[in-house]
Amino acid sequence: MTGGNLMSYEFPCLPTVDSEKTTALKLDIGNSSSSRLSIQFDSDSYSPLSIPEQQSSAETNSFLKLKSAQNYVVCSKRMKYALQEIEMTPKTDEATTISTPDHQEDEHKLKSAQNYAFYSRSMRYALENALMEPGIDEATTSSTPDRQEDELNLAPKKRSTACVPHCLPEKRQRRTSESDSVEVVNLLFKCAEALDDGNISDFEVLENKISDHVSIEGEPIQRLGAYVLGGLQARHKNSGSKIYRVLRCRQPESKELQSYMSNLHNVCPYIKFGYMAANGAIAEAVRDDNRIHIIDFQIAQGNQWETLIMALAVHPRGPPHVRITGIEDPFNRSARSDDLQLVGNKLSDLSKMHKIPLEFHPLSVYAPEVTMEMLDIRPGEALAVNFTLQLHQTPDESVDVNNPRDGLLRMVKGMSPKVITLVEQESDTNTTPFLVRFEETMNYYSAMFESIDAIFSRKDKDRINIEKNCLAKDIVSIIACEGEERIERHEVLEKWRSRFIMAGFSPFPLNSHVISVIRKLLGRYSEKYTLMESDGALLLGWRNKNLISASAWH
């Protein structure tokens, strides 16, 4: 590293960064047929390091677990509130319930239950309707909230591969043996071990070998290997934080970035799952309130709130007044004033469309620096706080003795919210040492890349853009950075549960209606997706590897 350049070496898997040209950052690994990073591998060829070549492909696929898959005890704790009363309330003759004064109180309870039943069905309808493909017959989409579930089309948006039939799995022209895939994994682990041991000569030899076997247009292990190798190279050059910052702040047009996120949202259920679970918990918590304040600690493009606004708009007592405070880390490009204004415009359009009063207040500030005064807490408002894929970026006691992560939770507790929603990646990379963290990263993202591979064709530019713009920066941060420079610090559900309980919160079990909708949604994607309930929380996985957790607290 020299002079004014952030990096002074060639980086085959992540961009070379020039301090004067960071806006022109490109990630062009293997994009041409002449690239040395273009060898194809078979997607079913994962193996753990210890598996011999002659073992079966079923054993080989156990690489996706990499010895660290966690088993959770399945338990079902369904909501017991008024919903159970509705389901168990016997049907009463209407004439009887209104004929005498003695039954006036019973009539009031029954009416309240009926209103809640309608609201629950409306919430479910709004969730389901948000998942339907555009172009569905208008008569279907305008039917009543309690229509038959079989009328719904919850299928995810499929990507057309008619123009690239040679990329379909059954017609792939390049294949390789299981032993070659095992070799990629072995090389990556040996490379990580050499770097951790300070054996730079071995690291450089392995680095060159790996570069001949990975490609961002290849099999899942090849694509993951390309970004992992980039992370190892950045760790070697102590440039991980600089590359992460550039990847996080790179300058795609707002519509372009929105397109990447929308594609990920449409073809994979991860983000949609988190939004549905969080919105369901918020709708349940504030269903009796006329004024609602939602504090979103990572507003991003504001896509999460469309479904909830639809549900609140059909409340039997009329739509409540909704105020949304959208917080965005100023480190993110989406926190720029013009992008936050676009979020406000989108929410304003939704407000007009669904005839619901709504205010939006943008706040560009680092989460640990947020104060109660900034949030303008008002008496009489039901408060909901949302942490979707954000809280893991707030440092904890292992980075800062002041423990901003737990401090933020204690501040939120002091605001007495009705509900807090948490959606996080189910990965343990916060305080683990490098090699353990490396193994966990391989384990987690191999499942993630394989699930994306089930939807996109190999050379689909949308898939490349999703992985490059939505996943690469996280891999770099986890592998290349240490200490306060490492932003991505994920924890598993059990650790989040301990933090929330220590901060004084209690679990708020997720709504059974929402759970049933999510189950139906996953069935429309792939039978390889799994959904597990754990003490009122949900865990979404791929081939039994849990990837995303959703929980609610109060």
Candidates 246, 300, 304; CA nearest to 271 is 304
- The pairing of beta strand 545-553 with beta strand 537-542: antiparallel
Contacts of 500 by beta carbon, 8 Å cutoff, 6+ apart: 409, 420, 422, 551, 553
**CA 435/CA 454 separation, integer angstroms:** 29
| Beta carbons of 460 and 2 less than 8 angstroms apart | no
How large is the angle between the packed helices 254-267 and 270-285, nearest 10 degrees?
Answer: 90
Q: Which residues pair with 531 in a beta bridge?
A: 540
Q: Sign of torsion, CA 537 540 545 551?
A: negative
Name the pTM for this structure. Answer: 0.72
Q: What is the pLDDT of residues 120-146, one digit of tens each?
A: 555 555 555 544 433 333 333 333 334
Helices (H), 237-336: 240-249, 254-267, 270-285, 305-313
Mean pLDDT (10-residue bins), the chain, 554 residues: 36 42 38 34 34 39 40 35 35 40 53 53 53 35 37 36 36 51 91 96 95 90 94 90 67 56 77 93 95 95 91 92 93 62 92 96 93 95 96 94 96 97 96 95 94 84 85 92 93 97 96 89 88 94 94 97
pLDDT at 250: 55
At 125 the pLDDT is: 53
Q: Which two tokens stand for residue 278?
A: 């969080």
Task: Enumerate helices (H) and strands (E) in the chain, giving the number of each.
Answer: 20, 8
> What proportion of the chain, given as a percentage, has pLDDT over 70?
63
Could you give the domains of the chain?
269-432+502-553 (3.40.50)
Please give the Cα distance from 72 to 91 (Å, whole number): 40
